[in-house]
Amino acid sequence: MECTVQWLADSGMAFVAETGSGHLLAMDGAPDGGGRNLAPRPMETLLAGAGGCTAYDVVLILKRGRHDVRGCQVKMSAERAAADPKVFTRIALHFVVRGKGLPAAAVERAIALSHEKYCSATAMLAKTAEIVTSFEIVETA
């Protein structure tokens, strides 16, 4: 995997990353740090990536189990250390899974498998952060 990050010098503290798959991702800093708030902060991007990684796993596991999953949202909140490097110290992930006839046990198992076996992003973040999960199921017609 490869990625190139380029500072956009004329924009304050904005950066553009080009991923190895050819996609662009913008990041910016807060105004108090010289940024212009034009894009997510790098740490927000890291948190969002972890959410995407685990949501991907949960949907895939449920689909492979032939469950009628129709939506998956992960609401995340993170706490950071007070001193530099200000790593994440706690991350709470609340999954809102939508589908028809989804068994709670299957959703719980999919979330557990993601965090215990498959999600490389949360596995890395778990080296410094306590990761807690919760979920709710929304029945769809």
Tokens 């991923």 found at: 19
Contact 32, 41 (CB under 8 A): no
Question: CA–CA separation, 54 vs 91, rounded Å?
Answer: 13
Q: 86: left (phi > 0), else alpha (psi -120 to 50), else beta?
A: left
Please say if the pLDDT value at position 102 is more than 90: yes
The tokens for 45 are 């991007």
Question: Nearest CA to 104 among 78, 76, 135?
Answer: 135
Question: CA–CA separation, 15 vs 91, rounded Å?
Answer: 25
Task: Indicate the pLDDT class of residue 137, thresholds 50, 70 and 90.
Answer: very high
| Domain-wise residue ranges, the chain | 3-33, 42-139
Contact 121, 50 (CB under 8 A): yes
- What average pLDDT does the segment 38-42 reach? 96
Q: 92 - beta bridge partners?
A: 77, 132
pLDDT of residue 141: 85
* Mean per-residue pLDDT of the chain: 97
Name the percent of the chain lying above pLDDT 90.
98
Contacts of 90 (CB under 8 A, 6+ apart): 78, 79, 129, 130, 131, 132
Name the percent of the chain lying above pLDDT 70.
100
Q: What is the CATH number of domain 42-139?
A: 3.30.300.20
